[in-house]
Structure 1
Amino acid sequence: MTSTSSVSHRKVPTAAPVGGADGNERLTAITGALLLVLFAAEGVTILSVRGLLYWHYFIGLLLVGPVCLKIGSTGYRFASYYAGRRDYVRKGPPTPLLRLLGPFVVLTTVGVLGTGIALGVAKSSTYHGIPLLFLHKASFVLWGGVMTIHVLAYILRLPGLVHADLRSTRAYGAARAVGGRNLRWSIAAVALGGGVAAAMLGAHLASAWQR
């Protein structure tokens, strides 16, 4: 009787309110999945960039929000690990190759988006002697190389992390749940909404190149 009562009153493990390192990993995965779709759509516009220039700019500007979120979530993990936060230290860092590659992924992504926006603002392939169009193309080539390695390293884990977060806590089991699910999806939605706002405000920059 006593043993039955103790089992029935045993506390079920609950998830941390904001998810900790596991929550950060899932937020990064959600953002990564979103970026895969958007970058694929941007790649389609490159196949006929003259005819799809407006959409090339629109999607490029839309990417800004999710890209900032991805940089923020990975940067937070980096800072938390080296600050000695217990759950991040326990989870461990990425492999040495991916840690080495990380800054190049960030720099080339910012380079591609930044030079693309600069081309629209300047309405010229050069600005005060700076070869913007060349830099845009060069950063895209470099980005393609480092991003290929980055995607291949994480692509197999991505569906499982996103799918796990889509399932309800009750269906998934409290012992395996990760807190902060609603917060994660809200943050991702806000980042996407910010990108949509930037795209709607700035996609007209393509008109100078269409002429």
Structure 2
Amino acid sequence: MLEPILRDPGVEANARLTGYVGVVLAVLLAAELVTGLRFKQLLPAHAVIGFVLVPPVLLKLASVGYRFARYYTGDARYRAAGPPRLAMRLLGPVIVLLTVVVIGTGIELWLFGYRFGFVWVPVHHFSAYLWFVTMAVHVVNYLRRAPELAAADWRDHLRGAFTRRSLVAGSLILGAALAIAMLPYPTPFIPTGGAD
């Protein structure tokens, strides 16, 4: 009797969107990590990837937030599907907070440099280190499931597959537009040329 509820199309569609955008984010975040480790040489790439990340991150937060709201407001379909493991439920708010801090301080530094003090650089770096550790735990826990969920739409085309793909693709297009819009913005972190 529980099987049809556990495989509810709405719950499955939400899980697939979360998995799909999760896979995209894993790739972008790996690139962001690499460019962050070679910060001085790869700052422009680090900034571009950071701006591209903003809309997909918002999409992932919306998808997970929707599941959270449906589960905790007592929706029978989401209650039947069950919550994430306890460790992931406890880690979730920490990841959200660190993600907001890392991206927020990154954007603040790009736009304003040191105008509001030098404290934002260590805040960005420290939160990025903490964020990396928490994300590593998160990714390891979903390493197998997220790609399976993302690939499922290419196999059986659960209703809304085109919409889910469009949301993910649209978030990437918006991210690219944001990155392009921010590149000409003057920042103290990239020399503009001229004499030594």
Asked if residue 196 in structure 1 is aligned to residue 176 in structure 2, the reply is yes
Q: Does 1:144 align with 2:132?
A: yes
Superposition map of 1:58-207 within 5 A? 58-124=48-114, 127=116, 129=117, 131-169=119-157, 178-205=158-185, 207=187
SS at match of 2:35: helix
Counterpart AA for 1:41:
A
Aligned-pair identity (%) = 42
Would the aligned equivalents of 1:54 and 1:204 in 2 still touch at CA under 8 Å?
no
Please list the CA deviations of residues 38-82 of structure 1 after superposition, one character each: whole Å capped at 9, or x if unmatched: 011112212322222111110000000100000000000000011
Unaligned runs of 5+ in 2: 192-196
Letter in 2 for 1:59: I
- The list of structure 1 runs, each at least 4 consecutive aligned residues, that deviate by more than 4 angstroms after superposition, is none
C-alpha contact (below 8 Å) 2:20/2:147 kept by paired residues: no
The CA deviation at 1:207 is: 4.4
How far has the Cα of 1:206 moved from its partner? 6.9
Aligned position for 1:22: 12
- Give unmatched runs, 5+ long, in structure 1: 1-12, 170-177
Contact 1:105 1:143 (8 Å CA) reproduced: yes
SS of the residue aligned with 2:41?
A: coil
RMSD, aligned CA: 2.0
Q: How many residues are paired up?
A: 186
TM-score under structure 1 length normalisation: 0.82
- Classify 1:74/1:29 alpha carbon distance in 2 versus 1 (closer, same or farther; 3 Å): same
Paired residue type of 1:152: V
TM-score by length of 2: 0.88
1:50 to 40, 45, 50: 40
1:210 aligned to which of 179, 190, 193: 190
Secondary structure of 1:144's partner?
A: helix
Supply the distance in 2 between the matched residues of 1:153 and 1:115 (Cα, whole angstroms): 27
Contact in 1 for aligned 2:105/2:123 (Cα 8 Å) = yes
